[in-house]
Amino acid sequence: MFTSTFFVICYLLFVICYLLFVICYLLFVICYLLFVICYLLFVICYLLFVICYLLFVICYLLFVICYLLFVICYLLLVTGNWSLVTGHWSLITGNWSLIDVGFRKLHPTYFFKDRAECESVDILLFDLKLLLVLNDL
């Protein structure tokens, strides 16, 4: 009888240890699956970060390109050959100017103080240049 109760107690201890082992194994599997899920989420977040960073770099490069194009257009419109201010096709001071024929010393503001007189001389200069251009054609 003593051996049979001892055997039953040992068997029960074995079953309890086995159940604890199974529970620990299941906990390990759950933790491992959680780790894998977290790792996959980390990889996905990292890839999203890389994609967002690349989009940021692309947008920044587009901004730089647009800014450079703006500067080039500004320089062309203000000081370049097709300028609206000082270039050859200028509306203000270039060769095809509305104000002066390219000779800065002959600009009306050097001779007239009144703005209305300057504007009338500017219009006359434009008419004169237009006639000169039409004669060249």
Residue with tokens 């959680």: 34
pLDDT tens-digit profile of 64-79? Answer: 999 998 887 777 666 5
Three-class DSSP category at 18: helix
pLDDT tens-digit profile of 31-63? Answer: 999 999 999 999 999 999 999 999 999 999 999
Residue 45, token pair as written in the block: 């977040």
Cα angle 127-91-104, degrees, rounded to a multiple of 5? 80
Per the CB < 8 A criterion, the answer to whether 87 and 81 are in contact is yes
> pLDDT at position 5, please?
85
Average confidence score pLDDT of the chain: 74
- The size of the chain, in residues, is 137
Q: Between residues 86 and 59, which one has the greater pLDDT? A: 59
**Side chain identity at residue 105, one-letter code:** K
Per the CB < 8 A criterion, the answer to whether 93 and 86 are in contact is yes
Q: What's the CA dihedral at 49, 55, 60, 65 to 10 degrees?
A: 160
pTM metric for this prediction: 0.45
d(CA 92, CA 101): 9
d(CA 91, CA 88): 9
Residue 70, token pair as written in the block: 């703006």
